[in-house]
Structure 1
Amino acid sequence: MKRFDSDYAKRGAEKRRLRIYATDPMTARRALYRIAIEIDNEPSLRPGPRGSIVEVHDFDGWNNQYYATVDLNDPTLLMEGGLAPSESDPRFHQQMVYAVSMKVVESARKALGRPITFYRSESRPILRLFPHAFFGRNAFFDPKLNAILFGYFRADPESPGPNIPNQTIFTCLSHDIIAHEMTHAIVHRLRPYFLEATNVDVLAFHEAFSDIIALLQRFSYRELLANHIQASEGKIHKSTMLLELAQQFGQATGTGKGLRTAIDEKPDPTKLAKTREPHARGAILLSAVFAGYLKAFQNRTADLFRLASGGTGILTAGRLHPDLVGRLTAEASQLSDRFLRICFRAFDYMPPVDVTFGDFLRAIVTSDFELNPSDPDEVRFEIVEAFRERGIYPSGVQSLAEEALLWPSAIGVMADPLSPDLLRMARELLNISGRTLDQSRSTRRRSVSEDAGPSSSRERIRHYESLVIESSDDQPDATAGHSDFQSGLYAALHNYATQNAAAFGLSQAIPIAVKGFHSIQRVASDQRLVIEFVAQFVQTDKEQSERWESGGLPFRAGATVIFGSEGEVRYIASKPMPSENLADALKDAAEARRRNTLDFVAELDDRDPRMAVADQVYLRDRMKLRAQFQALHVHR
């Protein structure tokens, strides 16, 4: 008999199991590809499903009708892990997009060490998912609607692949497409200006990163992974099923293969310079990340192959021993989780504008160095080598040595630490962020806490959104103040950035906007608690957007500044603004950025057939129109 009461028997479930297609319905004809995944439980989840982070709205735009919504809190569905996978039941389609989307959000939250929300305005506070939005071979994230719209279409009648000719293909049933579009939404939330095509890498990075997360997410499903490790005899680089993206979509459109693959036949360092289309260029970055993953996997499992082969490293023909498969699966899954975290964590170390593939490499190295300084498995080394083999080099570095790739702590002049008052507010935000992250606590104690009701998770997220600074590109800079705390924090950061403009590569003659400020808390490999504060400062030269040759694209500069727990500046990732108050090297770099942006606009103009018949509206806004996800994904 228990002597003391506790909430052990009263707490709610921390996880919710839901069934999904691990890839898509085409491959899910085999039971192996119909799996159940665990996502964070939202006790107050409403029919739709509609939760505190995403909401599913199932309006069929082509047929002009709403479909009946699924209630995942129905006792029967709770017991059975949701609806069974079905191509024909719209309610399962709703379950599928909700489950996969929340799994990606959960991965991002764990990696970033802070809440992930999609608040844009009072009218659009939650990201909305539309499983049957339109008829067409497309799916895309729309920042203005704050929504992801999934299309459906007929399979190619002549070359449908394993599908039936003219079969209806639902993009909302493709694990890879859902994860890809959800990642677009997360990237846009973290770095809204990564949708402005200021150089050839910007849109390609958006596409590549979304592919990377979609494929790494699939590697977290251990039963699926174990089957392919057995089938490939431990050589997962030979598993087409694991490394191809959106297979049903690609097959149904008559290509005879998946949409993209993570493996290139042979690294070619000259290919990058010759590749301009965003998806094709992004595929090079995708292959670089997965080449690093596969090499790291080989390094981590070499001893297992030696043990299993009597020291030769060459396995005998036949099925692998189940114990060996289990160990290889565990290594592959743990490594994919580390790569997933590495890639997401890099966002806190990337500049706020004008991103390049080289910036991504530096951010990966810097962020992982903070948590794993010694890197005993040489994961960072393999990533750097994979980038080098494909001709991806950061600008402004002397070599590919690790110390050269780390972002600097000073550029030109030293920056001041955060003032005591600003540091106090930053630490207060850290506490609020930590309480918001503790969703499981509010779930467990909702039955015994006086102030925790059914909507406590939603209310806690809304409270966090009213305090943290995460300005979107369509929000005026001065509207950061939804609360006295946020207004005070914004004003203090703005004053700090103005006083340290030269240290961040910014101009003293142009207003500085605070585009983000948040706290992060992570546990390092040696169990240290790493606490940092990340600020994003952006400047905009609006005069350039009014020039015809810019196509409506303003010239922006910015800096992401990472502070330590005591307010000291740890790293600066800067894209400088031309200014007389900067050192000569920074001024030259800023002018080079401006020239490169205008040259890139001219390059796109030369390749754009619409320029010959364009009206004044298109000419004025052509760069914005070219960067819309809907237009980008038409050419998947």
Structure 2
Amino acid sequence: QTVFTCLSHDIIVHETTHAVLDGIRTYFSERTNPDVPAFHEAFADIAALFRHFSHKEALLDTIQKTGGRLYQYHLKPDVGITDNEEARLQGQLPVDNPLVGLAQQFGEARGTGRALRSALSDLPDPKLIKEPNLEPHERGAILVSAVFDAYFTIYLRRTADLFRVYRAGGGNSESFELSGAMANLLADAASSTAEDLFQICVRAIDYCPPVDITFGDYLRAIMTAHRDFYPTDKEGVRDAFMQAFRLRGIVPEDAQYFSEDSLCWPLVPRKVLPDVDGLIFGDPNGLTRDEKDRNGDVLRAYAKKNAALLGFLPDRFISVPAFHPAFRVAPDGSLRIDMVVEMSQTYDALFDSRKPELGTFPMRGGVTLLIAKPSLDKDEYPPGEIRYVIQKRLGGNHGQKREERQRRFSRREGLLNGDDPKRFQLDFNMLHGGF
């Protein structure tokens, strides 16, 4: 069966997200560990799946056919049958939940009889993440299921009072039959929750280290991004993410404890780092070319002058591959403006010190800086204050462990062969060969 993928909403969103993520994070497509390709696939799936909840008609239909239990795999058939009766009509057959299935038609056309991938996995298995031979889509599915576990947990918390009132009014919450008013309220809750969580997932990208992304890094970024805007977590959003990731064995390597305080990146104490003078934050329309050039000069000079404080190796070039202003409306209605900056440093590491003829691979470290735009003072803007420094160091024990891990990964992936530097980059044609 021919399927025109250009007409598939899910596939278009998925592929566009790849391009957007690659555009805003320079080194997220460099193959340094198994989580890198898996993260790209997972984030693209997350974007496509959350868009499902913006389609009101499909959302209402699914709510009516699941009794509001949106996490169910299958919908109630349009026509019921008895236990001893076989289905004779298509309306008597259960169908898959369209909200949790990705690229339903494409998957069915491949002969699998189901969607290409799902927002939900089988029972969470913390051992699965340690399997070294998982294909990137399979590994990415672990992250997707963790995010949607958190989503459905928060959805259930937000709708718990609705179901209590519904039952108090004589409604049966165990039944699939819901009143129109109840279904609309649940649809509004599901849609707004999806929008809220997708914003958290997107905002977290700004709180990730610039190189060598792992699922554990992303959990820390999610936690920090949410706490940065919502210090008091009344709905338990951060706890929902923590437990969903923990159930699947996703634990940051460098967090001392699995607690909220330990998982969130720490704020930079005042005066530990000098403020950044001369930075242009622009407006929501973006920066001009001249403003970008000036900011680049300012940031490179700052990195060179404060290399040791930022955790860089001495006497090595520090690049600033990307930066962008982020304009966000805080819960109190105020506008918060940060400059999100990537800085990186690279050296060529030998695949084998005993056999230098085998060549080298690029070993990168770096920091993500979040620099707050200061308030106007006497008609002038003072220097910007650095709020977060999110690091992946090259030096020290952590840097040595990362180098050895990347060396083993490169060998396993066959990256020793050839001299084309592009072999270290993700090849999305090859990656999508397995869909």
Q: Given the two structures, how large is their TM-score scaled by the length of structure 1?
A: 0.60
Question: Matched residue pairs, number?
Answer: 398
1-side partners of 2:188 and 2:23: how far apart? 32
Matched residue, 1:339: 197
Kept after mapping to 2: 8 A contact 1:371/1:523: no
Is 1:267 matched up with 2:124? yes
Distance across 1 between alignment mates of 2:48 and 2:406: 30
Aligned to 1:242: 99
Kindly indicate whether the alpha-carbon contact (under 8 Å) linking 1:197 and 1:203 is maintained by their aligned counterparts in 2.
yes
1:280 alignment partner, SS class: helix
- Distance in 1, Cα, partners of 2:51 & 2:358: 41
Unaligned runs of 5+ in 1: 1-154, 156-167, 437-463, 468-482, 579-586, 612-617
Shift of 1:465: 6.1
> Where does residue 487 of structure 1 map in the other structure?
293
Aligned partners of 1:548, 1:572: CA distance in 2, in Å?
37
Q: Could you tell me whether the CA contact under 8 Å between 1:169 and 1:249 is conserved in 2?
A: yes
Post-superposition offset of 1:621: 3.4
| Alpha-carbon spacing, 1:317–1:518, altered in 2? closer, same or farther (3 Å) | closer
Q: Which residue of 1 aligns with 2:413?
A: 604
Label 1:280 to 1:310 Cα distance change in 2 as closer, same or farther (>3 A): same
Change beyond 3 A, Cα 1:366–1:316: closer
- After TM superposition, give the deviation of residue 620 of structure 1 in Å: 2.4
- The CA RMSD measured in Å over matched residues stands at 2.3
**Residue number in structure 1 paired with 2:390:** 573
Deviation at 1:523, TM superposition (A): 1.2
1:560 maps to 368
Quote how far apart the aligned CAs of 1:486 are. Answer: 3.0
Equivalent-residue separation in structure 2 for 1:173 and 1:302 (angstroms): 37
The AA in structure 2 aligned to 1:630 is N
CA drift at 1:529: 2.1
- What is the one-letter code of the residue matched to 1:620? D
Q: 1:519 aligns to what?
A: 325
**How is 1:282-321 mapped onto 2 (pairs within 5 angstroms)?**
282-310=140-168, 315=173, 317-321=175-179
Aligned counterpart for 2:8 among listed residues 145, 168, 174: 174
Change (3 A) 1:532 1:233: same
- State the 1:487 CA deviation: 2.8
Tell me the secondary structure at the aligned position of residue 419 of structure 2.
Answer: helix
CA distance in 2 between counterparts of 1:398 and 1:389 reads 18
Query: What percent identity do the matched residue pairs reach?
Result: 38
Partner of 1:461: none
Separation (CA, whole Å) in 1 of partners of 2:9 and 2:230 = 31
In structure 2, the partner of 1:537 is 343
Structure 2: gaps (5+ residues): 74-96, 375-383
Match of 1:78 in 2: none
Q: Distance in 2 between matches of 1:231 and 1:325?
A: 10
1:193 counterpart SS class: coil
Residues 30, 424 of structure 2: 8 Å contact kept: no
User: Secondary structure of 1:536's match?
Assistant: strand
Q: Give, in angstroms, the shift of residue 319 of structure 1.
A: 1.8
Report the secondary structure of 1:518's partner residue.
Answer: strand
1:279 aligned to which of 137, 156, 175: 137
Match of 2:419? 620
| Aligned residue in 1 for 2:110 | 253
2:35 to 201, 206, 212: 201
- Pick aligned residue for 2:304 from 473, 498, 501: 498
Cα gap change, 1:199/1:368 in structure 2, threshold over 3 Å: closer, same or farther? Answer: same
Residue 218 of structure 1, aligned match among 49, 52, 58: 52
1:192 corresponding residue in structure 2: 26
- Contact 2:217/2:252 (<8 A) preserved: yes
Larger RCO, structures 1/2 (Cα 8 Å, 6+ apart): 2
Distance 1:313 1:279, change over 3 A: farther
The whole-number CA distance in structure 2 between the counterparts of 1:311 and 1:269 is: 42
Q: 1:590 aligns with which of 383, 393, 399?
A: 399
Deviation at 1:623, TM superposition (A): 7.0
The residue aligned with 2:434 is 635
> Which AA in structure 1 matches 2:153?
K
User: C-alpha displacement at 1:573, in angstroms?
Assistant: 1.1
* Residues 1:262 and 1:634: Cα distance change in structure 2 (over 3 Å): same
Question: CA offset at residue 548 of structure 1?
Answer: 6.1
- Return the match for 2:182 from 324, 327, 330: 324
The alignment's TM-score, normalised by the length of structure 2, stands at 0.86
Secondary structure of the structure 2 residue equivalent to 1:355: coil
Amino acid in structure 2 at the alignment position of 1:300:
R
Query: Which aligned pairs between 1:404-553 and structure 2 lie closer than 5 A?
Result: 404-410=262-268, 414-419=272-277, 422=278, 425-426=279-280, 429-431=281-283, 434=284, 436=285, 464=286, 466-467=288-289, 483=290, 485-542=291-348, 544=350, 553=361
> Helix, strand or coil: the match of 2:22?
helix
Cα displacement (A) at 1:526: 2.4
Which residue identity does 2:387 align to in structure 1?
R
Q: What SS does structure 2 have at the residue aligned with 1:194? A: coil
Residues 189, 318 of structure 1: CA spacing in aligned structure 2 closer, same or farther, 3 A cutoff?
A: closer
Q: CA deviation at 1:544?
A: 4.7
Letter in 2 for 1:539: Q
CA contact (8 A) 2:363 2:403 kept: yes
Corresponding residue for 2:228? 370
SS in 2 for 1:241: coil
Verify the 8 A CA contact 1:539 1:557 in the aligned structure 2. yes
State the partner residue of 1:4: none
